[in-house]
Amino acid sequence: MDRGDGMRLVLHLRELHALADAERAAGRRIALVPTMGALHAGHASLCELARRHADRVWVSIFVNPAQFDDPGDLERYPRDLAGDLERCRRAGVDLVFAPDVAELYPPGAQTWVEVGELSRGLCGASRPGHFRGVATVVAKLLLAAKPHVAVFGAKDFQQLAVVRRLARDLCLDVEIVGAPIVREADGLALSSRNARLDPRSRREALCLSRALDAAERAVAAGERSTARLLALARSELAGARGAELDYAELRDPETLAPAGEALVGPALLALAVRFRTPDAAVRLIDNRVLVPEAPERVAPAREA
């Protein structure tokens, strides 16, 4: 339906298919920004990046039940479709696809998409089935919207890696673009889950960016030991009251394989911590790619 403000709201796959076909036939490029709603400035930055890659910016809003391992977490996930539509309008989005669950998971649905090694470890270890749900819904959205480009935030680094692998392995005609993490002024990475933090846990959540900063400073000062860098990060996280560490790991940014004993190139420092609130624990993730500087080359001595 046309909302009268230049932004179209689509609820059904059949309409989305027809619109995608029409845009492609007209030679216009489509960029899709998949979201689960509860939109914030970080999502607006994804839309801005999408606009630089395409003629049309489409946003999907769908809280995907298949990627939640905890029914309570799914129930508590923030939802505000009216507010999200207004944020999309302000961001200049052309179309919002907001289907209900039955539209993407019809009765009797039994088909799943899994990305093997990249889905193991990190969030995949503590959230069984999470990336199967992510891969499945992303595949559905890419097939439904037929975008030329799809934009995902780098805060969910493992998810971005999974989606890139999925697009390559399934030979999908889409470019996957990663967008930089957007942070609050005090360093906290923007997340829809931040809305569930109470004032105390919001302050404690800054331990994530402090841990990343400490590790980055250590690498800049010459530290290369994986064990010492992880100990430094975990020490910062341990200083937060009511925080429970899920993981703090150093991984290869391309393969997500565990880093070696010493950094010899870029390494992903990935963190996940649960913060206790009066209602329930809120799990936040953050990451940074640590890049050790190459040693300066010493000019060979000239012969006398």
Q: Which residues are catalytic?
A: 43
Name the residue with tokens 């809003």. 61
Residue count of the chain: 304
Return the SS3 of 222.
Answer: coil
DSSP string for 206-270: THHHHHHHHHHHHHHTT--BHHHHHHHHHHHHHTSTTEEEEEEEEE-TTT-PBP-SB-SS-EEEE
Residue 183, amino acid = R
Q: Give φ, ψ of 95 to 5 degrees.
A: -150, 140
- Cβ atoms of 143 and 293 within 8 Å: the answer is no
- Start-to-end Cα distance in the chain: 82
Residue 34 Cα distances to 25, 37, 118, 123, 181, angstroms:
23, 9, 20, 19, 16
Question: What is the 3-class SS of 131-153, one letter each residue?
Answer: HHHHHHHHHHHHHHHCCCEEEEE
Return the SS3 of 214.
Answer: helix
